[in-house]
Chain A
Amino acid sequence: MLEFAAWVESTRISKTLFGMSWLWPACESLHFIGLCLLIGGAGVLDLRLMGMFRGLPIRHIKAMMPWAIGGFLINATTGTLFLIMQPHLYLSSAVWWSKVAFIVVAAVNALFFETRLALSALSMDPDADTPRALKVVGACSLFSWFAVLYCGRMLPYLGTGN
């Protein structure tokens, strides 16, 4: 894995991108904006699935999801740029791999909701309490996204021997 990191770092694209001193802070800002879109949008749906915001129809919340997905795409793109610019920083970090694992958990969870539960959720009475399956899926999503945020923000500090 470290050989792969060294190879990526030796490529012209990695050197060129990392050479643009403004690109890293610009990507960080975008990463934060994307995070707010993602956690804002997904968070409202997750809390609704958990039984909060009664009276807010789930189909109305789902109409906001393109913004959350847009936030995720911004962060996947800027995250990939970080990875190309400084591969060893991430590929050698257990915290970064945990972050990737939590993204996978959140994605699988979202896919499970979309394919198995969304139809019945959409037809629910907006004032009714949500069934347990939806509560679990909502809580799993909310936990995973905050775990992703935690791993990302703590990456420079965790597992550095301190």
Chain B
Amino acid sequence: MAFFRSLQNSAFTEWLLGSDSIWTYPTVLTLHTVGMAILVGASFVVHLRVLQVAGDVPLRRLLPLYRFVWIGFAINLLSGLLLFVTEAADRVVDPVFYLKMGSIAVALCLGVIVKRRAIEPQGAPEVTTGLSRSMAAASLALWTIAIVAGRLMAYLKSAA
């Protein structure tokens, strides 16, 4: 706990939050939103197709979209780490933070499993199985929960 407290009270936090420049905190926040658009946007497209509610794009053709999933994830892992440092002590005791992290972890895993089961295999059926569809639906729900939890954290912060 002392470690997280020292992160939150570090000179880095003071610089990132205290600077008047738009290139510090606002830019990290905006990068986190850009990463979200790429990561969740690409995931939404893949999972809606697997759910069979977004037309009949040949499933294997969705494979390149996973590159964007990982690019968006990398942007958000890095920008998220910076944001975490500035409020580390508050977040490690915040259940909403763990809800967000857990949702992201499971949503990503489901995305990888769906890719291996329904998208990658040569000659995988264009009509997805019930199990793949359930996993796609769960992943969509978890991304939604992660977004809502992320938004909620901003309010819990200002309340604290």
User: Chain A residues in contact with chain B, CB under 8 A?
Assistant: 25, 28-29, 32-33, 35-41, 43-44, 52-53, 55-56, 60-64, 67, 146, 149-150, 153-154, 156-158, 162
Contact = CB atoms under 8 A, between A and B. Distances in A.
Interface string B25-61: 0100110011011101111110011000011111001
Contact of B44 (A29, A40, A53, A61): A40
Q: Helix, strand, loop or mixed for chain A's interface?
A: helix
22 contacts: A29-B148, A32-B150, A32-B151, A33-B147, A36-B143, A37-B44, A39-B41, A40-B40, A40-B42, A40-B43, A40-B44, A41-B41, A53-B64, A60-B58, A64-B45, A64-B54, A64-B57, A146-B34, A150-B30, A153-B29, A154-B30, A157-B22
Nearest to A38: B41
Contact of B65 (A29, A44, A162): A44
Given A32-B36, A40-B42, A63 B54 contact: yes
Contacts of A33: 144, 147
Nearest to B152: A25
Contact of A35 (B37, B42, B48, B64): B37
B144 A60 contact: no
Nearest to A59: B55
B121 to A, nearest CB: 17
A146 B29 CA distance: 14
B3 interface: no
Contacts of B44: 36-37, 40-41, 67
Contacts of A25: 151-152, 155
B61 A53 contact: yes
B12 to A, nearest CB: 19
Name the 5 nearest CB pairs between A and B, nearest first: A63-B55, A40-B41, A157-B26, A36-B40, A60-B57
Contact of B56 (A53, A60, A149, A158): A60
Nearest to B155: A25
